[in-house]
Structure 1
Amino acid sequence: MARASYQPMSSWRLNLVKVAFITVVIILIAYLVDMQLNEADFLQKQAKSRHQRNIDIVAHRGMILDRHGEPLAISSPVHSVWVNPQHFEPSREQLKKLGQVLNITAGQLQGKLKNTATKHFVYIQRGVSPDIAAAVKALKIPGLALQREYKRYYPAGEVTAHILGFTNIDDKGQEGVELSHNAQLEGTNGKKRMYRNGIGQFVEGGTLLKREKDGENIQLSIDLRLQYLTYQALKQAVSHHKAASGSAVIVDVNTGEVLAMANQPTFNPNNRRALHAADYRNRAVTDLFEPGSTIKPFIIASALKSKKFTTASIIDTSPGI
């Protein structure tokens, strides 16, 4: 078999290849330089968005106390479970385990993440207990994280419900003292920068950007012992007389301080799932009613104080109203 003879590439073809190669290199270098000069800010932002996140350090909401320092409203630490959809890629087994921990189905989990591909933060479940939070963390699923928050708790339950009101899931006051003094109670959240590793998990630690400022405590004139007694007496009276509603207020006549305030019907601020807005109404404060005979003692007292009348005076009120 005859061996093919070697024919060297002509010089013009070789030069053409060299020119083409050099041209491609120059274009690539120019593109890289352009990116560094003109798109540096954009690229840095993109890199930071993938590997950094600023999260809130939730401030501790102040307590509400009675006149003797007994706690009426306190905040307990909880966690919220959230994901970054751009890094959340669990296996089928991991998704199943997460659902078991949170007591929701895989379908419900997927429903929460529907149409969230462009987002960086999506809540999966709010206000979970420390035990559940620890179980979630142990799964070590990329893109899955926890955020510390607080959940409001009212030790006296429905006894002080209308006075205190309640907060929403973000611990913001919605009714009662919680609403009227929200700015004083809630404090100011801090900021912390967290960093992700190569698989999307947050690295422990982070950089403190702003320290949180906890809310202030508020002490009321309410006496919890009198409040319990007032609540019980009113509840029994409303039940006995089959009344639609009732209110009772105890005031210190020397100072004008409100020592107790109760309403029926009432509600449990620790469990508001099956309640209606009307249940939250503090009737003793918001409702209008005819004073009727309750005003007579004040009229008599005023008459006696004027010294124009005595306890034996007869006043003709005919023909009446």
Structure 2
Amino acid sequence: MTGVCPNQTIEQMIARGEIAAAPAILPDQVQPASLDLRLGTVAYRIRASFLAGQGRSVAERLEEFEMHRIDLSAGAVLEKGCVYLVPLMERLDLAEGITAVANAKSSTGRLDLLTRTITDGGTEFDRITDGYSGPVYAEICPRSFSVLVRPGMRLNQIRFRKGQSVLSDADLAALHARMPLVDTPPVIEQGLGFSVDLALPGSTLVGYRAKPHTGVIDLDRIGHYDPTDYWEEVHATNGSIILDPGAFYILVSRESVHIPPDYAAEMAPYLAMVGEFRVHYAGFFDPGFGHAAAGGTGSRGVLEVRCHEAPFVLEHGQVVGRLVYERMSETPTQLYGAGIASNYQGQGLKLAKHFKSVG
């Protein structure tokens, strides 16, 4: 059937060798509608980000751009502001009619850790062509914090599709009428509009801004770091804040979002014309996110926002992104938040899992 492949289909693809890895893929890498990808044992420091381009391999292009290589076996620091290429443990041999899209995991995006997937012959980041066979690489650029990484860490994930299954605006409106997708009047235009909450009840705290000079974050340490060493609080008393050029912010959506079990979603920027900022890169929402049967009653979306060249006034309720919904090819046998380690079910304004809880 047409649609996003659920966990049971991904498991079948692994069994058939369409997805392979050394060492073997672990059961907990398989998510309701995606597969976590693991870093390999070496990182290449490169001069610039690149795509392989049609008819060319990543290894071939790496000869042009490699500066030096780093053994990750005992752990190594990827420094803020530098660009690295890491071969992943997984490789693909997709059947005809199967495409894939990759994205950073939620915790990766919340650390402003730009992580994109490239492949041999690829002409777009994070987009894997029909029937692709070959290796997969992660391009990693730490933007706000230097990070300590090791082989096997999971910074990005991949979602497989049979055909196209994106809901039209009419389909999305009909789905919302059957089972509300947000708890506010929906803004539907090329997806479901997502707005920013700058008037949280009982508090002037509306977000966090990354500090410019901080220590290294070891990505294996969960609930370890004091947020005040890495983040400044952002407060609003009048329903607006001014975004600083080059700064990275963690904010939260005004809407509580619901992803029904038969659907998956991906966050996309709203429009380039809305202002001098964009919502960041961690964009997959799994089936069951905010779903009552999976332990949710709607969940806020955390917004990873980066301001560009000019200061910009962001207002409470301003639409900053959109959720593009897709049909699943089958209902997953495992939902987000239901018996799996889902760090952000029922979330509000929340930093990455590496930081101690605030408040």
TM range (shorter): under 0.3
What TM-score results when the alignment is normalised by the length of structure 1? 0.19
**Which of 1 and 2 has greater Rg?**
1
TM-score (norm 2): 0.17
Instruction: Write 1 or 2 for the structure with the bigger share of strand.
Output: 2
